[in-house]
Amino acid sequence: MNAISTFSAPLRTIDAEATARALFAGIANLANEVAMFAYLDPEWRLLALRTVPSDRVDSIDVPVRTIVGDALAFDAAGVVMAHNHPGGDPNPSEADRVLTRKIARALDGVGVRLIDHLVLAGAETTSFRRSGLL
């Protein structure tokens, strides 16, 4: 089941990778893969979060239509995505790269920017943006 949290007033600004990492830290050590999406306004203030859990340790099905629908519903200007790698390797898989491109294209089609995709594995994080993958 997907869970979404909304905020009546922005709680914080997600203006740096470290801030995003802290926001998503709760999924870093989970036993199964979990994806999270932070929807941001034009000033990069947090509007809402969606959590997409999985019952698998090595993959997750991300509902791209739902992510785009949320972005439109919240009138988001940007999205930061994160997911965990329970195996401990923070390097993005080819499936991660394909999914990220798919989400970025879908969001771009409605005028929303995919700001970053973080892969969390324990204390380690890989940023698609910093790695030149986004």
**Hey, CA dihedral for 108, 66, 60, 47, is it positive or negative?**
positive
Per-residue confidence (pLDDT) for residue 10, from 0 to 100? 46
- Within 10 Å of residue 25's Cβ, how many Cβ atoms? 13
**What digits encode the pLDDT tens for the residues 99-111?**
999 999 999 999 9
> For the chain, where are the E strands, in sequence order?
3-6, 34-40, 46-53, 78-84, 113-121, 124-127
111 lies in a domain? yes
Residue 122 in any domain: the answer is no
CATH number at residue 93: 3.40.140.10
Residue 3 pLDDT class (50, 70, 90 cuts)? low
CA nearest 68: which of 4, 10, 111, 14? Answer: 111
Mean pLDDT of 46-60: 81
Q: Residue 101: inside a domain, yes or no?
A: yes
**Domain coverage including residue 33:** 15-40+62-115
Total domains in the fold of the chain? 1
pLDDT tens-digit readout, 55-68: 766 667 788 999 99
pLDDT of residue 13: 67
Residue 49 pLDDT > 60, yes or no?
yes
